[in-house]
Amino acid sequence: MNRSLQIVNAQHWERLSATERMGRAVFYIITVVAFIWALKKIEVIPEFLYDAPEQTADLFKRMWPFDWNFYPENIHPALIETFHIATLGTLISLLIAVPLAFLAARNFTSSKTLNWTAQFIFVSTRSVNSLIWALLFVAIFGPGALAGVLSIAFRSIGFVGKLFGEAIEEANRGPIEALTSCGAPRSILLVKGYWPQVSPAFWSVALLRWDINIRESAVLGLVGAGGIGVALESAMNNLYWDQVGLILAIIFMVVIVTEIVTSSIRSRII
Amino acid sequence: MNFSWDRFVSGLPQAYKLFGRMFPPNIAPDKLDLISTGMLETIQIAIIATTVGVFLSLPLAVMAARNLSPSWLAASARVFIAVCRSFHPVIVSILFVKAVGFGALAGVLALIVSSLGFIGKLFAEVLEELNEKQVEAVRSTGAGFFSVLIMAVMPQVFARFIGLSAYQFDSNLRNSTMVGIVGGGGIGAALFTAYQRFDYDVVLTILILIIALIMFAELLSNILKRIFR
């Protein structure tokens, strides 16, 4: 906060300079205008809204009680597949993203073209959602877990690459200069100079992404890319809401468990 | 998991065919018209969901911060946040499509829920790392709860809050391209239709536009972070 503290005149203190205040005011105005514009233009069908409470009540009534008979043969294998998709997808994305992150880090790679190429790959893989990647891969490899794994992997490249690349850029120059001055080759620089500094960031990003990927791979099945989403999709298409309810409850439990597991691993290794 | 190298290899000519049909991207005026309507709706969904979500998550985060509110309130707010966070926006929008029907409203509501989960959690964490001295200083002047919030808490955390909101806008934009696949409105609907009709050249146009939109949003959020440093 001190950075923006300044004296306008001897008696009068202001936290923000005039340009800063201008910038903020412009931002507030733009937000309000954009919000009003969006509210006015967005198409909402009021007829659907009248029976929304009824529909919601109906939805929950149909979901309860859960259809537990459905679990052993349909949900359990799909759940295991979801785990596999998330884990394998995360591993593949790490394999691709880590070299790219080193290319993107300006302190490791001095070529501007390489930096920008890597950055571009990150942004484009990140902006296309995993569900949309899944659509593409289902079109290529057919429905199934392979499409799911690849879509998880591709979606994660940008995320892992961006965060890990930033961690590399924040690495302390001292040890690296020391190694360079001894005439260490780049491979040693990587293993002894950068890796010890960035490995906590690496593990935390990898864990975070795995956690997110479990969540994401649960919905990939909606477009046919394997996992528990396939069971969800078929239950919904058949209007078996008691099965839908069970699947949702199981997804919820799995997500909570992964969150507990990742946070305990994180506190242990980092 | 029942996939083999053969399966992968047999996909490659398929990929070649797919990319062959994607290029060049389709920019016929009628398609562009459809796409721009979808894109605008996506932007609208993201704006409304972010604004509403951010405003609702402010009090929620204050409730969830253990240093600012009583423990029973903090615990229940935390459970609420965990529930919001644990479902993927697509699943939430499936439920909302059932509840409020097809269209943008379902998408907006689903993204509000995910914004609550994300900002609620992270902003509560920011609040818990608060510097207590300033809070005590203001409290010692006899200030009430809201004065403490405005004079002691907000100045410390506002920049982080704006940063989180900018990030959330970004991810809402990204997710709002997706909720359309399950009927939540926006460009996702157009994308899914084009995909099911095998109009892969239209799919490519939409993908390029989505990437451009996200890049633009990232630029905006960088500017925003500079303003609120």
How do the pLDDT tens digits run along chain B, 229 residues long? 556 666 677 777 777 777 777 777 767 777 778 788 888 888 888 889 999 999 899 889 888 888 878 888 888 888 888 888 888 888 888 888 888 878 888 888 899 998 998 888 888 888 888 877 888 888 888 888 888 888 888 888 888 888 888 888 888 888 888 888 888 778 888 888 888 887 788 888 888 888 888 888 888 888 887 777 6
Closest C-alpha to B191, from B87, B41, B88, B49: B41
The total of other beta-carbon atoms located within 10 Å of residue A18's CB is 9
d(CA A230, CA B120): 31
- Range in A24-28, A146-150, A155-159, B9-13 the model is least confident about: B9-13
d(CA A108, CA A17): 37
Do residues A193 and A108 touch, judged by C-beta distance below 8 A?
Answer: no
Q: Chain A: nearest CA to B120, how far in angstroms?
A: 16
Note whether A223 contacts B: Cβ–Cβ < 8 A: yes
Q: How far apart are the first and last CA of chain B?
A: 48
d(CA A189, CA B86): 41
Closest C-alpha to B35, from B158, B215, B187: B187
d(CA B117, CA B110): 11
Do residues B95 and A59 touch, judged by C-beta distance below 8 A?
Answer: yes
A residues 153..212 contacting B (CB < 8 A): none
Six token digits for residue A185: 């080759």
In the DSSP assignment, the letter for residue B143 is -
CB-based contacts of A164, cutoff 8 Å, min separation 6: A97, A98, A101, A198, A201, A202, A205
Q: Chain B: nearest CA to A4, how far in angstroms?
A: 9
Q: Which residue of A has its CA nearest to B159?
A: A1
Predicted model pTM? 0.79
Do residues B90 and B182 touch, judged by C-beta distance below 8 A?
Answer: yes
d(CA A231, CA B89): 18
* Cβ pair A49:B100 closer than 8 A: yes
**Which string of DSSP letters, residue by residue, matches A4-30?**
G-EEEETTEEESS-HHHHHHHHHHHHH
The one-letter amino acid code at A99 reads P
- CA of residue B199 relative to chain centroid, distance: 28
Whether this model's ipTM surpasses 0.90 comes out as no
Note whether A123 contacts B: Cβ–Cβ < 8 A: yes
* Cβ pair B210:A128 closer than 8 A: yes
Handedness of CA B68, B71, B73, B78 (dihedral sign): positive
Q: Chain B: nearest CA to A263, how far in angstroms?
A: 14
Nearest-Å Rg of the Cα atoms of chain B is 22
The total of other beta-carbon atoms located within 10 Å of residue A122's CB is 22
Six token digits for residue B191: 């994308």
**Which residue is associated with the tokens 């001095």?**
A110
Do residues B130 and B153 touch, judged by C-beta distance below 8 A?
Answer: yes
Collapsed DSSP state (helix, strand, coil) of residue B114 = helix
In the DSSP assignment, the letter for residue B65 is -
Collapsed DSSP state (helix, strand, coil) of residue B136 = helix
Averaged over A235-243, what is the pLDDT?
80
Q: What is the band of A61 on the pLDDT scale with cuts at 50, 70, 90?
A: confident
- Residue B51: list chain A partners with CB under 8 A: 31, 35
